[in-house]
A and B are shown apart, each in its own frame.
Chain A
Amino acid sequence: MRVLSPLGATPDTVKPLAKRPPSLTGLRIGVLDNSKPNADVLLARVAELLAARAGGVTIRSWTKPGSSRPAMMIDEIASSVDVLLTGSAD
């Protein structure tokens, strides 16, 4: 028997990732907290540990208004940081 697939066609494009810097020394690290419980703790600690290894970095954080809502401050973040840490999960 022949049947039709119920799956939806999904986008199949692959975009390039941003060019990586050779090291984080002297760079601005951004942290976008998805506002899930303890996401701020995990993200802040990872940023702190990265800063300890790289030296001369600055850390700036933003918080999404809710994990289930899109971040509204994308433009501001993009113009204020060199690399970004963010979260997804519980």
Chain B
Amino acid sequence: MEARGIPAVVLGTDAFLSLARAQSAKHGLPHLSVALVSHPIGGVDPAIVRGKAESIVDEVLTALTSDPTPPARLAAGAGAAVDEVPDDLDAFQAWAMAERWSDGLPVLPPTPGRVDRILGGRASRRHDVVATLAPLDGAATLEAIAINAALAGAAPEHLPVILAAVRALAEPRFNLNAIQTTTHPCTPLVIVNGPIAGRLGISGGPNALGNGHRANAVIGRAVRLICQNVGGARPGLEDRATLGHPGKFSYCLAENETASPWGPLHVDRGFDAATSCVTVCGAEAPHNVNDHASTTPEAMLMALAGTAATTGSNNVYLGGEPLVILGPEHAQTLALTGWSKAEVKRHLWELIRIRLDRFSAENLARFATIDPAAFANRPGDAEIPWCASPEDLMIIVAGGPGKHSSLVPTFGATRSVTVAIEA
């Protein structure tokens, strides 16, 4: 608006100043007027909010009627500057924490030699920009990506998977700006398909979402550090997550293609089985579904549907593509009578129904402004689905022996993105 000659003021809450400042600086307007009231304004009585308006009206009036002083030109973003750091690893970790480079766990020093090793044959193209990442529009050059991979402890062979994930994150339909800055806990979940998973030891087997697999750990961690350091989403500053979740350290697994009764995710999305792919989802933490007893497909759906049909996920009012990670034994039971993956999606989608009288009146009123067809002026016994269509349910098969599956709701206002991994 300012660029079109319209003076503007952004009203915000004090808790979110760092984010408002980051967003305005990205658009070349670090001096944009921001008027702050005390946090929060949502979830409180409207009379209190009207009272807060009184406290800022003078400031807003001044901001709209007097020309601000333009700030000095900002210093250029760092972009692979060289820093002299302590040789001692514990002292280096303390230094990395102070610089906000780390996720809290120890990082390995991204020395020029280690970064060159990770870049390998790409070293001559180190300044090529792979993507521009929100919220700060940071330039994800090959070098910046490799530096974060070095911090995360990744090996050279992991770089192609990390590069593909970065390209996927930057697709507009992923909505990275919102994913990075929301109060929702979401973070990119990286799903790997195709032969590269076996080659690199990216686990889709026992404890695939847990600890113990180097490739899963360092690929997911590198992607997360790139989001933080290159995109510019520092926890508690631009990254406004209320709680976050443990997957924000690292969140990566492979599909267990050999244990699946169906074709893999990347083939559903039009890629050849032999093409290795990465899919990113803006994902919550996984929630377990325990079913040790059901022996028929119809029975197996019940615990999955019952666990999914909750009122607190973003998907219920924003749509998107919630993910079902079926343990191989659950998947085999669902396929027992010949159901295809599409048929499982349809049966499961039809069974996941949430009655409107399970939502608070305040939530119903809010959701009705966003999705009137589902929420406005409907009786309490009317039901809504988990997402817009059976096709929007994502299903992969992963894990080892056992009778567990996982449900992963998403941020909602995001679409998962699948891209091929370039060698």
Instruction: Tell whether, in the assembled complex, residue A87 and residue B101 are in contact, meaning their CB atoms are under 8 Å apart.
Output: no
Considering only residues 29-45 of chain A, those with a C-beta below 8 Å from chain B are 30, 35-39, 41-43, 45
0 or 1 for each of A17-61: is its CB under 8 Å from B? (1 = yes): 111111110000010000111110111011001100110000000
A90 in contact with B178 given A1-B92, A4-B147, A12-B76 (CB within 8 Å): no
Answer whether residue B10 sits at the interface, using C-beta atoms and an 8 A cutoff: yes
Cβ of B98 under 8 Å from chain A: no
Q: Given A11-B137, A50-B57, A81-B6, A6 and B225 touching (CB < 8 A)? A: yes
B20-61 at interface with A (beta carbon < 8 Å):
20, 23, 26-34, 37, 39-44, 46, 49-50, 52-54, 56-57, 60-61
Check if A7 sits within 8 Å of B7, measured CB to CB.
Answer: no
**Residues in A whose Cβ lies below 8 Å from that of B85:** 1-3
- The stretch of B105-113, B259-267, B268-276, B288-296 in contact with A is B105-113
Q: How far is the CA of A13 from the CA of B50 in the complex (A)?
A: 36
Interface string of B218-240 (1 = CB under 8 A from A): 00000001000111100000000
Q: How extensive is the interface on chain B, given as a class? A: 35 or more
| Segment from B65-73, B244-252, B336-344, B391-399 that makes contact with A | B65-73
Partner of A46, one of B32, B60, B144: B60
Alpha-carbon gap, A67 to B131, bound state (A): 24
A38 and B44 within 8 A (CB): yes
Given A17-B70, A39-B41, A78-B6, A8:B1 Cβ within 8 A: no
* Distance from A17 Cβ to chain B, minimum over Cβ atoms (Å): 5
Q: Quick one: closest B residue to A16, CB to CB?
A: B70
Assess A66 versus B370: contact at CB under 8 Å? Given A8-B232, A87-B11.
Answer: yes
Which of B67, B82, B151 meets A20, CB within 8 Å?
A: B67
Residue B199 at the chain A interface, CB threshold 8 Å = no
Q: Flag whether B78 is at the interface (Cβ < 8 A).
A: yes
Min distance, Cβ A54 to any Cβ of chain B, angstroms: 8
Pick from B4, B19, B44, B111 the residue with the most CB of A within 10 Å: B4
C-alpha gap A13/B140 in the complex (Å): 18
Closest Cβ of chain A: how far from B224's Cβ, in Å?
Answer: 12
Residues of B within 8 A of A39 (CB): 11, 41-42
Distance from A23 Cβ to chain B, minimum over Cβ atoms (Å): 6
Q: How far is the CA of A15 from the CA of B111 in the complex (A)?
A: 36
Contact B60–A10 (Cβ < 8 Å): no
Which residues from B are CB-within-8-Å of A88?
Answer: 10-12, 16, 19-20, 23, 34
Interface centre among A2, A9, A16 (most CB of B within 10 A): A9
Q: Which of B11, B27, B411 contacts A86 (CB 8 A)?
A: B11
Please, which residues of chain B bring their CB within 8 A of the CB of A23?
A: 65
Q: How far, in whole Å, are A5 and B4 apart by their CA atoms in the complex?
A: 36
A8 touches B133 (CB 8 A): yes
Contact in complex: A46, B1 (CB < 8 Å): no
Whether A3 and B41, one on each chain, are in contact in the complex, defined by CB atoms closer than 8 angstroms, is no
From B2, B23, B40, B138, contact of A17 by CB (8 A)? B2
Q: How far is the CB of A86 from chain B (nearest CB, A)?
A: 6
Cα A62 to Cα B141 with chains together (Å): 38
Q: How far is the CB of B31 from chain A (nearest CB, A)?
A: 6
Shortest beta-carbon distance, A72 to chain B, in Å? 14
Nearest residue, chain B, Cβ from A36: B42
Nearest CB in chain B: distance from A76 CB, A: 12
A90 touching B13 by the CB < 8 A rule?
A: yes
B403-417, CB under 8 A of A: which get 1 and which 0? Answer: 000000001010000
Contact call A37/B42, Cβ cutoff below 8 A: yes
B67 is contacted by which of A17, A87, A90 (Cβ under 8 Å)? Answer: A17
Q: Are B82 and A4 in contact (CB under 8 A)?
A: yes
Closest CB of chain B to A33's CB: distance in Å? 10
B299: interface (CB < 8 Å):
no
What CA separation (Å) do A88 and B133 show in the bound complex? 20
Q: A24 near B64 (CB under 8 angstroms)?
A: yes
Q: Is the CB of B139 within 8 A of A38?
A: no
CA distance A49 to B54 in the complex (A): 8
A contacts, CB < 8 Å to B:
1-24, 30, 35-39, 41-43, 45-46, 49-50, 53-54, 63, 65-69, 74, 77-78, 81-90
A-B complex: 5 closest residue pairs judged by Cβ atoms: A8-B138, A9-B79, A8-B230, A10-B77, A68-B178
In the complex, besides A8-B232, A42-B37, 7 extra interface pairs with C-beta distance below 8 angstroms are A2-B111, A4-B81, A6-B225, A6-B230, A66-B370, A78-B6, A83-B7
| 24 pairs, A vs B, C-beta closer than 8 Å | A1-B92, A6-B144, A7-B144, A8-B79, A8-B144, A12-B76, A14-B71, A18-B5, A22-B65, A36-B41, A37-B41, A45-B54, A50-B60, A68-B182, A68-B413, A74-B1, A83-B7, A84-B7, A84-B9, A85-B11, A88-B10, A88-B11, A89-B13, A90-B16
